[in-house]
Amino acid sequence: MKKVLPTLVILILLGVLGTMFYKEYWVKYSYSSEMADVNEYYGVKAEDDYPVVLQDQLSEYHAKKIGDHYYLDLAMAKTQINDRFYYGEEDGKLCYCLPDTRITAEEGSDIWTDSSGAENKEEYKICVKDGDTLYVAMDFLKKYSNFSYEPFTGPNHVRIYTEWGEQQVAQVTKDTNLRVTGGVKSAVVTEVPSGSRVIILDKMETWCKVETEQAMIGYIENRKMTEAETVLMTPVKDYKEPEYKRTSLGTKVNMVWHNIAGAAGNVTLGGRIDRTKSVNVVSPTWLAVLNESGSVEVRATQDYVDAVHDRGMQVWAVLDNFTGPDGVQQKFLASDDSRTAVIEKAMDTVTSMGIEGINVDFEGITEQYGESYIEFIRELSIECRREGIVLSVDNYVPYNFNNHYRIDEQGLFADYVVIMGYDEHYAGSQEPGSVASIDYVTYGIEEALRSVPANKLINGIPFYTRIWKTTAQGVSSEAYGMDQIQTFIANHGMTVDWNASACQNYAEVSEDDATYQIWVEDAESIDKKLEVMHSHNIAGVAEWCLGMESSDVWDVISQYMKR
């Protein structure tokens, strides 16, 4: 008995230690069976709420189920799928422009119409307002966009693909659990049976972040999957982008703007146009939007059109928004009726008078009206394309201040995109400088070519120069034509030197407690700009404006047109 007792004690101690070790090991290394709250994990907010798994990542976006159909917030749809959809808050109308027609649907309706007025009925409401948010049916979006969507429940979520490339895919070899994070103690998202295929999103040493066939995202141990293989996704091509046919001049463009400053200015054409060379388009400032209702003042005359045609040139009438009594007009852009009124008046004018083109010069458009502005351009382009009218659109440089003008969309819908490559320094500038230095011109062209085909891009050049006056009170300037500048330089005995950095002649003089500076625009500086334009093979040149040029400038422009 005395020999047995120590043995029993040892066995008991070993048993206690073994139990303690087993419990510690179990607690540390055993797999947790705790289930995660998947609604919380995915951020499901309501029964009709479907968080979006976008390109295999759980995104910040949410879809909505209405009846048996799924809807996306229009803002998300524009950002991720197709930014051509436009919703007019004032009209409660969703719009989509194609090359030859505009699709419209009233909020809450299952009917959409095209430009002919023909009605088409869907099995669902096309767009629905919930508070301040407009939701658009995904099936309607798919009529005009290539993307895929697949909804799931348990929890609610929807997987969307807008791009298709390569994926890393593995096969699960043992029944396992998908976990919230990598680690055996992490809560379980869902069970994953053997044979399932998963997309590898992020591979770590012992775990991988994966996405299951049901678009559930979490972590699985590497040892329970095969090695990943690269799989090429099959792209969705349900929708074929239509061809946006253009009306082209058919040759290099030399367009000169004619600032008529009122209907009486039409009579100045003959004395000015006859001194030009190689001009093939005259663009008079003829159509002015006057108010938010879309009223348009028309200054065109048939005699003027006939006189231009007699000289073998085309007329592209300027449509502007800054000559009304209230200054810049932009509120009209937000209303379907007022946009339509402007378009109808412009089209009636050009078609009835045999005018070949419209040149849109809308300046001062704020970002608030940016989407409405480009919608106007799309809508106008449909009418111009139908009638064979050339549509050109003017834009200022630099684009980072007016990127809501969307020159990329202009490059698709318009026939020509015109960049006004001047006003680098303008009347309100706080320091003197060039109106259009060579670097500024080059920048404007090269940045525009990122979005606009070269055969659609026209660069505008200045026929004016600013005389800068600096005094103790500050800086001011006035714009003068080329001949006037030369007269000023001569009258003030100014010495002119070539400024290589600006590629312009420069003159400076101090008189009566004031310093005068001039970065001269002349035939020499214009020739340098034309060299840049030629090297980038763009569609042509425009000049602001007729009557401000010296006669010799037409010789260098004519040489450019022959290259």
Collapsing DSSP to helix, strand or coil, 308 comes out as helix
Q: What DSSP element (H or E) covers 148?
A: strand 148-152
Distance of CA 314 to the CA centre of its chain: 30
- Cα–Cα distance for residue pair 556/544, rounded to 1 Å: 16
CB 419 within 8 A of CB 388: no
CB 460 within 8 A of CB 544: yes
Which pLDDT score is estimated for 292?
A: 96
Segment-wise mean pLDDT, segments of 10 residues, the chain, 563 residues:
58 54 52 96 97 98 98 98 97 98 98 97 98 97 98 98 98 97 96 98 96 98 97 96 96 98 95 97 98 97 98 98 91 98 98 98 96 98 98 91 94 98 95 98 97 98 98 97 98 98 98 97 98 98 98 98 97
- Upstream peptide bond of 545 is cis (omega within 30 degrees of 0): yes
Q: What DSSP element (H or E) covers 48?
A: none
- Cα–Cα distance for residue pair 338/292, rounded to 1 Å: 7
Which tokens go with 80? 């991720």
Determine the length of the chain: 563
Other C-beta atoms closer than 10 Å to the C-beta of 284 total 28
Which tokens go with 37? 């709250």
Which pLDDT score is estimated for 4?
A: 56
Nearest to 542 by CA among 461, 451, 470, 440: 461
CB 112 within 8 A of CB 124: no
Residue whose entry in the numeric block shows the structure tokens 């009529």: 143
CB 218 within 8 A of CB 38: no
Backbone CA torsion sign across 11, 15, 18, 24: negative
Which pLDDT score is estimated for 84?
A: 98
Residue type, position 225, single letter: M
Nearest to 282 by CA among 250, 317, 252, 251: 317
CB 412 within 8 A of CB 425: no
Which tokens go with 207? 């775990």
Asked whether the whole model's pTM tops 0.75, one would answer yes
Ordered by where they begin, the domains of the chain are 40-149 (no CATH), 164-232 (2.30.30.40), 253-464+530-562 (3.20.20.80)
Other C-beta atoms closer than 10 Å to the C-beta of 417 total 27
Reported as half-sphere exposure (CB side, CA atoms, 13 A), residue 437 has a value of 16
Which pLDDT score is estimated for 402?
A: 87
Give helix 336-353 / helix 370-387 axis angle, nearest 10°.
30
Which tokens go with 312? 């073998």
Which pLDDT score is estimated for 399?
A: 78
Cα separation values, 179 from 51, 189, 203, 210, Å: 19, 5, 14, 10
- Cα–Cα distance for residue pair 543/536, rounded to 1 Å: 18
